[in-house]
Amino acid sequence: MYLELPKSLEIVVNQAHQVAKHVFRPISRKYDRAEHDYPKELDMLAALMDGLNAGSRNRGTGIDALQREQGCEQGVRNGANMSTCLGMTELCWGDVGLAISIPRQGLGNEAITAVANAEQKKRFNGVWAAMAITEPGAGSDSANIRTTAHLDGEQWVLNGEKIYVTAGSRADAVVIWATLDRNLGRAAIKSFVVPQGTPGMEVVRLDKKMGIRASDTASIALTDCRIPKENLLGTSDIDTKRGFSGVMQTFDNTRPVVAAMGVGVARAALEHARELLGREGIKVRYRGPLFSKRAAEAELIRMEAEWEAGRLLMLKAAWMADNGVPNSTEASMSKAKAARVANEITLRCVELCGGVGYSEQELLEKWARDSKIIDIFEGTQQIQMLIIARRLLGKRSSELR
């Protein structure tokens, strides 16, 4: 594994950085204040990404292109997972909420890529799909899902409630996680594509949030919602030995992307704090011991080291996915570390910059608010630590809670 930026991905990183700098940053505060207003500026960006994805040799660079490779016959490679993580890092350097609001780049698209069969991937190509997992009684424990699905002739009938659905009101469709049989636990959980406007599916509320306000977060009610039999992703067979592994592969692919979000926003805070402190005469000197430096200077150096650790874990998890190496543990490690680092760095940068950092005069306070969600969605910090512990100790979920 080489730690330098691959030349083949330099154009992706540069394009994403230009979008973050010239599109996201100028409108960041606007949509932070105008929560639930749709960022129309993203439509042109989405069309551009569609063009890039259509012409890419690696199946594209967006989240809908993520996929674990089944072994690498041509040696070490950097594919869609690495490309997406590097691009997301740059986009979130600009704005996290806008980055996760780009049309046709929803988490539901990754679920379709990870689980759907060939016919479904073709049928749902170009669809913007949100993903609905969390319920009032099932947060981080996805296996506790209570939304039900039963087959009635040639249609699935869904009943339940989903909350905290990113892009739930804007997306073309929502991928609903539901159980075929509550008595069979994880194995019976499947994912279903429900087009927006389907009778029985209703967006009942848009939540006001601490951060990522440019992104809509919806609560959805399902009442005898009927969808075609073919809209179940994958197979309806219940395999008690590995039934849940298919949908959980979604997380193996997307958790490094969430880590990239943390890496991006933390870098933005570090760079801006260094700039603001530099105006006051505080320059970072890397030579010499920390105890000989100013407190703010030493703190910036310490945070940079933590940031680098999160970045390297993110790169490793993405690289493993691109090279066909099982990465469940590393995906959780990268997400846990980068999310914690993002929280600590953004808040500490606000503190170091004093009143300027705390005011809306700068984006530091916004980045501190935005960064918290990275530690929560796609599995909280505590859940990631639990997953890692189970993997390292060889314990099942019933043995280690």
Compute CA distances 128 → 83, 100, 105, whole Å. Answer: 20, 12, 7
Q: Are residues 114 and 133 in the same domain?
A: no
For residue 312, the enclosing domain spans 245-393
Where among 71, 86, 120 does a domain terminate? 120
Tens digits of per-residue pLDDT, 74-128? 567 888 899 999 999 999 999 999 999 999 888 888 888 888 889 999 999 889 9
**pLDDT of the residue at 199:** 98
What is d(CA 395, CA 401) in angstroms, rounded to the nearest whole number?
10
**pLDDT of the residue at 60:** 44
Is 2 within a domain? no
Burial class from Cβ neighbours inside 10 Å (0-12, 13-18, 19+) for residue 284 reads: middle
Is 400 within a domain? no
Whether the Cβ atoms of residue 95 and residue 28 lie closer than 8 Å to each other: yes
Q: Is 378 a catalytic residue?
A: yes
Enumerate the β-bridge partners of residue 175.
Answer: 131, 193
Q: Are residues 279 and 389 in the same domain?
A: yes
Q: Are residues 384 and 274 in the same domain?
A: yes
Where among 120, 153, 183 does a domain terminate? 120
Distance between the two ends of the chain, CA-based, in angstroms?
Answer: 34
**pLDDT of the residue at 70:** 55
Tens digits of per-residue pLDDT, 119-178? 999 999 889 999 999 999 776 667 789 999 999 999 999 999 999 999 999 999 999 999
Whether the Cβ atoms of residue 318 and residue 335 lie closer than 8 Å to each other: no
Tell me how many degrees the CA angle 142-147-153 measures, rounded to the nearest 5: 130
Burial class from Cβ neighbours inside 10 Å (0-12, 13-18, 19+) for residue 143 reads: middle
- Tokens linked to 376: 């929560």
**pLDDT of the residue at 47:** 79
What is d(CA 141, CA 145) in angstroms, rounded to the nearest whole number?
8
Where among 207, 231, 255 does a domain terminate? 231
**pLDDT of the residue at 209:** 96
Is 320 within a domain? yes
- Tokens linked to 392: 């390292």
Q: Are residues 216 and 278 in the same domain?
A: no
Is 80 within a domain? yes
Whether the Cβ atoms of residue 94 and residue 23 lie closer than 8 Å to each other: yes
Element (H, E) at 195: strand 189-195
Q: Are residues 277 and 367 in the same domain?
A: yes
Is 237 within a domain? no
Q: Are residues 260 and 355 in the same domain?
A: yes
Tell me how many degrees the CA angle 121-81-6 measures, rounded to the nearest 5: 135
Is 238 within a domain? no
Say how many domains are in the chain.
3
171: CATH: 2.40.110.10
79: CATH: 1.10.540
What is d(CA 250, CA 93) in angstroms, rounded to the nearest whole number?
24
Q: Are residues 357 and 259 in the same domain?
A: yes
Is 401 within a domain? no
**pLDDT of the residue at 290:** 78
CB atoms within 10 A of CB 195: 16
328: CATH: 1.20.140.10
Residues in the chain: 401
Is 148 within a domain? yes
Q: Are residues 22 and 43 in the same domain?
A: yes
Q: Are residues 196 and 293 in the same domain?
A: no
Indicate which residue of 90, 110, 330, 378 is catalytic. 378
Whether the Cβ atoms of residue 266 and residue 342 lie closer than 8 Å to each other: yes
Q: Are residues 336 and 352 in the same domain?
A: yes
**pLDDT of the residue at 253:** 86
Q: Are residues 280 and 365 in the same domain?
A: yes
Q: Are residues 65 and 163 in the same domain?
A: no
> Consecutive 10-residue runs of the chain (401 residues): their mean pLDDT?
80 93 97 94 82 51 54 68 94 96 87 87 92 84 86 97 95 95 86 97 96 96 97 81 60 92 98 94 85 88 96 95 92 97 97 95 97 92 93 88 79
**pLDDT of the residue at 55:** 47
